[in-house]
C-alpha cells in the first residue's frame, strides 16, 4: 500500500498534486478531456465499469449523452443513475452546504468510476496507473481534486451526524497495515497517512463485503468513530449510486490506532458455512485541516496581498515619521507662512477637509502639523489598499492585473515618501499645497524637482 507518515500529513494536499488553477471550469475540462491521461481506459473493481476520464466528464456534464452501456455493471445490470448537476445543485444537500456547480460536478464524478483515477493520482499507486493517468506526472488533476475536497469539507461542516456514529471501511483483503501503525516513532506517534480519499460506510455488512473475506489474503475492516471535527461527508444525495450511503473523508488524513484489534467470523450468505475470518481494526481519523474550500482558495491570493499591503502601510508610517524627524520637518513648518490658513479659503483652492487629522481645524482656521501631514500621506496609501479590496478575488489570479496591483502598492509607498522629501528638500513647497495634492502628484513634482537639480 501507499502510506504516508506524520510529516506528510503536515505537508498537505498541495505537496502531493500541486496548486489548482483559478479558471476552475476550464481547468477541470482540460484535466479530463485534453491533458495527458484523459483517454486512458480503466475498469473499476466494484462494478466492473470500463471507461476513460474524457467519457466520464462528458456524461456527467450532460447526462443526456449517457448510453445504456455506460450504466451497465459487470453483471449487465443498469446500476448507475446520472442526474444533471444543475438539478442536483438545487437539492437540499448542495444548497445547505453552499456548493457551487463545479463542486457538485466533482462529487458526482468521484461517485462514479473516476474515484479510481483520483485516488491513483493521490496515492501514486499503483505506479503504472499513476504514470498512465497523469502522463508521467503532467496531469495530476489538481484543480478537480481541490474542488472535490472543497465540497467534502463544506458538506462535513453542515451535516448532522448521530453522536458516536460508527463508520466502517473494508480494505479489500490486499492491504497490510504499515509498521508505523503498530510502532511509535521517536516522538511517540503511531499511525499512517492515507494519501487518497477515504470512502467509508455506516453499514458494517457492506464493509464486510469489501473486506476481502471472499478470496483476499488479509481480510480487514477499519472501524471509525466520528467526532465534532473529524468526520466524513455523506455524499449519497449526489451519488451516481444513490443506493450507497457513502461517507467520504478528505485526502491526506491521518489514521491512528484506537484500541485493540479483534476478529470476527463471517458466514456465507446462506448462513450454513463459514466464509472466513475478518480482522476488525478500531482507528481514529484526523481529517487534514490544511484543506480549503474553493472560496478560500480563490480568496487566498487577494487576502495575502491585502495583508501584505497592511504591513507595508505600517512600515510607510514609521518611515515617514523617521524621515520627518531626521529631516527637520518641525523646523521647516515653524517657518512655513502657510502653516495656518482660513478653512474657507483652503476649501476654495481645492483642500479636502477629510484629509485633516483631529484638532487641525477649529471650524474657522486650519493649523497644519507634521503629524497631520504624515497621517494624510498614509491615508493616500490606505486609499489604494481600499481600492484593491474592492477588486474581485478572481482578478488576483490574472497575471496582468495582479502584477499591476503589486506595482501600484509599491508605487504608493514610494510616492508617500517622495511627498515628505518634497516638503523637506524643495524650498518652494508649502505644507498646505502638499496637503491638497495626492501623494502621487507630489511624487511626480518631486521627480521633476530632482531633475532640475541635476540639470
Over the stretch 15-55, which tens digit does the pLDDT of each residue have? 899 888 878 999 999 999 999 999 999 999 999 999 999 99
Task: Report helix, strand or coil for 4.
Answer: strand
Task: Report helix, strand or coil for 118.
Answer: helix
State the Cα–Cα distance between residues 223 and 239, nearest whole angstrom.
23
Task: Name the residue with higher pLDDT: 450 or 356.
Answer: 356
| Cell numbers given for 292 | 480549503
Task: Report helix, strand or coil for 7.
Answer: helix
Helix/strand/coil (H, E, C) string of 239-293? CCCCCCCEEEECCCEEEEECCCCEEEEEECCCCCCEEEEEEEEEEEEECCCCCCC
Band (409; pLDDT cuts 50, 70, 90): very high
| Cell numbers given for 297 | 482558495
Cis peptide before 315 (omega within 30 of 0): no
Decide: 120 and 133 in contact? Cβ < 8 Å. Answer: yes
The chain-wide mean pLDDT, for the chain, equals 91
Decide: 13 and 149 in contact? Cβ < 8 Å. Answer: yes
Q: State how far Cα 136 lies from the chain centre.
A: 25
H or E element at residue 43: strand 42-43
Band (446; pLDDT cuts 50, 70, 90): low
Give the mean model confidence (pLDDT) for residues 161-174.
90
- Short-list 311, 340, 360, 330, CA closest to 420: 330
What pLDDT is recorded for position 229?
Answer: 87
Task: Report helix, strand or coil for 431.
Answer: helix
Task: Report helix, strand or coil for 42.
Answer: strand
Per-residue model confidence as pLDDT tens digits over 264-294: 988 766 554 457 899 999 999 999 877 788 8
Per-residue model confidence as pLDDT tens digits over 342-388: 999 888 888 888 888 777 888 889 999 999 999 999 999 999 999 99
State the Cα–Cα distance between residues 448 and 453, nearest whole angstrom.
9
For residue 389, pLDDT over 50 is answered with yes
State the Cα–Cα distance between residues 282 and 166, nearest whole angstrom.
10
Cis peptide before 11 (omega within 30 of 0): no
| Cell numbers given for 40 | 486512458
- Which residue(s) pair with 224 in the sheet? 167, 283
Q: What is the DSSP letter of 193?
A: E
Band (451; pLDDT cuts 50, 70, 90): low
- Short-list 262, 161, 237, 174, CA closest to 210: 174
State the Cα–Cα distance between residues 10 and 4, nearest whole angstrom.
10
Give one word for 37, left, alpha or beta, with left for phi > 0 and alpha for psi -120 to 50: left
| Cell numbers given for 85 | 448537476
Per-residue model confidence as pLDDT tens digits over 66-90: 999 999 999 999 989 999 999 999 9
Per-residue model confidence as pLDDT tens digits over 213-271: 877 678 999 999 998 889 999 999 999 998 899 999 999 999 999 999 999 988 766 55
State the Cα–Cα distance between residues 360 and 363, nearest whole angstrom.
9
Strands (E), 296-407: 340-342, 365-367
What pLDDT is recorded for position 272?
Answer: 46
For residue 159, pLDDT over 80 is answered with yes
- Residue that the C-alpha cell 511624487 belongs to: 443
Residue percentage of the chain with pLDDT more than 70: 95
Q: What is the DSSP letter of 366?
A: E
What pLDDT is recorded for position 273?
Answer: 47
Give the mean model confidence (pLDDT) for residues 309-313.
94
- Short-list 318, 329, 321, CA closest to 430: 329
State the Cα–Cα distance between residues 413 and 415, nearest whole angstrom.
5
Decide: 382 and 439 in contact? Cβ < 8 Å. Answer: no
- Short-list 126, 128, 129, 206, CA closest to 174: 126
Amino acid at each position: 500500500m501507499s502510506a504516508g507518515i506524520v510529516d506528510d500529513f503536515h505537508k498537505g494536499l498541495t505537496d502531493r498534486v500541486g496548486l489548482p488553477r483559478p479558471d476552475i471550469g476550464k481547468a477541470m475540462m482540460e484535466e479530463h478531456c485534453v491533458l495527458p491521461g484523459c483517454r486512458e481506459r480503466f475498469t473499476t473493481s466494484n462494478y466492473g465499469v470500463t471507461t476513460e476520464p474524457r467519457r466520464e466528464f462528458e456524461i456527467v456534464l450532460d447526462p443526456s449523452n449517457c448510453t445504456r452501456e455506460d450504466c451497465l455493471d459487470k453483471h449487465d445490470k443498469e446500476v448507475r443513475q446520472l442526474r444533471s448537476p444543475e438539478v442536483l445543485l438545487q437539492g437540499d444537500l448542495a444548497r445547505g452546504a453552499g456548493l457551487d456547480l463545479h463542486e457538485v460536478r466533482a462529487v458526482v464524478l468521484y461517485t462514479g468510476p473516476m474515484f479510481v483515477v483520483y485516488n491513483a493520482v493521490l496515492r501514486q499507486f499503483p505506479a503504472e496507473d499513476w504514470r498512465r493517468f497523469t502522463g508521467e506526472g503532467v496531469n495530476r488533476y489538481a484543480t478537480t481534486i481541490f474542488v472535490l475536497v472543497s465540497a467534502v469539507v463544506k458538506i462535513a461542516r453542515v451535516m448532522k451526524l448521530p453522536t458516536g456514529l460508527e463508520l466502517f471501511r473494508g480494505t479489500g483483503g490486499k492491504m497490510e497495515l504499515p509498521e508505523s501503525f503498530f510502532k511509535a516513532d521517536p516522538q511517540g506517534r503511531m499511525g499512517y497517512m492515507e494519501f487518497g480519499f477515504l470512502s467509508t460506510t455506516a453499514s458494517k455488512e457492506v464493509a464486510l463485503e469489501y473486506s476481502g473475506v471472499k478470496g483476499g489474503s488479509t481480510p480487514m475492516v477499519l472501524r471509525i468513530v466520528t467526532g465534532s471535527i473529524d468526520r466524513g461527508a455523506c455524499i449519497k444525495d449526489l451519488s451516481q449510486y444513490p443506493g450507497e450511503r457513502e461517507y467520504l473523508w478528505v485526502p491526506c488524513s491521518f489514521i491512528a490506532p484506537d484500541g485493540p484489534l479483534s476478529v470476527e467470523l463471517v458466514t456465507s450468505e446462506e448462513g450454513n458455512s463459514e466464509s472466513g475470518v475478518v480482522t476488525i481494526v478500531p482507528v481514529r481519523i484526523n481529517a487534514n485541516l490544511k484543506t480549503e474550500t474553493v472560496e478560500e482558495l480563490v480568496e487566498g491570493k487577494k487576502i495575502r496581498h491585502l495583508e501584505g499591503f497592511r504591513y507595508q502601510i505600517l512600515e510607510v508610517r514609521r518611515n515617514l515619521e523617521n524621515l520627518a524627524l531626521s529631516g527637520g520637518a518641525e523646523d521647516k513648518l515653524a517657518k512655513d507662512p502657510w502653516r495656518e490658513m482660513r478653512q474657507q479659503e483652503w476649501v476654495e483652492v481645492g483642500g479636502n477637509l477629510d484629509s485633516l487629522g483631529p484638532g487641525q481645524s477649529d471650524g474657522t482656521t486650519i493649523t497644519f502639523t507634521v503629524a497631520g501631514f504624515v497621517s494624510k500621506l498614509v491615508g493616500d496609501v490606505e486609499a489604494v489598499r481600499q481600492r484593491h479590496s474592492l477588486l474581485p478575488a478572481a482578478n488576483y489570479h490574472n497575471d496582468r492585473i495582479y502584477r499591476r496591483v503589486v506595482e501600484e502598492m509599491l508605487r504608493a509607498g514610494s510616492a508617500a515618501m517622495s511627498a515628505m522629501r518634497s516638503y523637506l528638500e524643495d524650498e518652494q513647497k508649502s505644507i498646505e499645497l502638499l496637503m491638497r495634492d495626492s501623494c502621487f502628484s507630489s511624487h511626480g513634482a518631486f521627480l521633476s524637482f530632482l531633475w532640475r537639480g541635476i540639470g
